[in-house]
Homo-oligomer: A and B are copies of this chain.
């Protein structure tokens, strides 16, 4: 009743442990009769196989480790749901580790997971450098990354098409008559930032507008960061009618600044963010934003990592890009909120 082992089942069913194991793993080599004998014994003892013994022998844990920057960010939570759902469908469990914006913790978790506790690791928006990540993959581990694109041949990555995001936003703003569009970028070095800036420029060019480096300001990916960046830009030039914020948090910062400066949105200032987080629909006017298929971002990579674990991922293709969708709301178009 307490903790029965395979040998107890074997004794009761009057067979060998090997046979019990075969039944447990649906081997075709057992008679219906023995199978039912064993199953009955299993039921009787309420037996469940010990995971450790099983894993030790089979060298598999059927578990994926997920190291995430901050589980409290809805953005990340959604990605995790995608990973989990797909992993579960393929009989994998996931072990979530929260690095809480600390690079040190991220490293610790990575080594921790490596001691064969998991079959593969997925990093969500890691802080580690490409080289550091690659070093882990070099040790023979399966690692995947979401939100970054490393050139490593053994590390599958899933990302959003950042260029498209930049182009789409600019195109939308230009179509609404804006000719001087500011860009509040995130960290300069972040791949997201670089690519979106590029898309931003492409969009300007396509709309026949000049690119003005004075209208680009960088800042932290946070409400405060957006607030500060907007203030700097406004104080310096003040000569723009629309802002493209690198994410919705920054856009919220812009709202705060505009409120304080008495700048009306969208009449005197159009605002567009990225991520389409829930809050964008609760402020007034609602914030236009670019929706990323977060769930898919996670599910896709889980798929690829599991493929790689099973050796089913063909060489060559390692970067997977998902599409995005601009959601136009009141912050960038008059009357868009009413419905």
Contacts and interface: CB of A to CB of B under 8 A. Distances in A.
Contact of A98 (B51, B84, B283): B84
B93 A95 contact: yes
Nearest to A50: B116
A251 to B, nearest CB: 12
Contact of A52 (B52, B140, B284): B52
Nearest to A3: B140
A78 interface: yes
A98 B80 contact: yes
Interface string A73-107: 01001101100100000000111111010000000
A55 interface: yes
Contacts of A324: none
Given A94-B96, A100-B81, A51 B140 contact: no
Nearest to A55: B52
Interface of A: 2-3, 48-53, 55-56, 61, 63, 71-72, 74, 77-78, 80-81, 84, 93-98, 100, 111-112, 114-117, 140, 252, 278-279, 282-284
Contacts of A77: 71-72, 77
A247 to B, nearest CB: 15
24 contacts: A48-B111, A48-B115, A49-B115, A51-B115, A51-B117, A52-B52, A52-B55, A52-B56, A52-B61, A53-B56, A71-B71, A71-B80, A71-B81, A71-B96, A72-B78, A77-B77, A81-B98, A93-B117, A94-B96, A94-B97, A96-B96, A252-B282, A278-B279, A284-B284
A95 B252 CA distance: 33
Contacts of A53: 56
Which 7 pairs between the two chains have the least Cβ-Cβ distance?
A96-B96, A52-B56, A72-B77, A51-B117, A52-B55, A51-B115, A48-B115
A140 B48 CA distance: 14
Most B CB atoms within 10 A — which of A80, A81, A100, A282? Answer: A282
Contacts of A116: 50-52
A329 to B, nearest CB: 15
A117 B112 CA distance: 16
A217 to B, nearest CB: 23
Contacts of A278: 279
A84 B49 CA distance: 27
A151 to B, nearest CB: 23
A56 B53 CA distance: 6
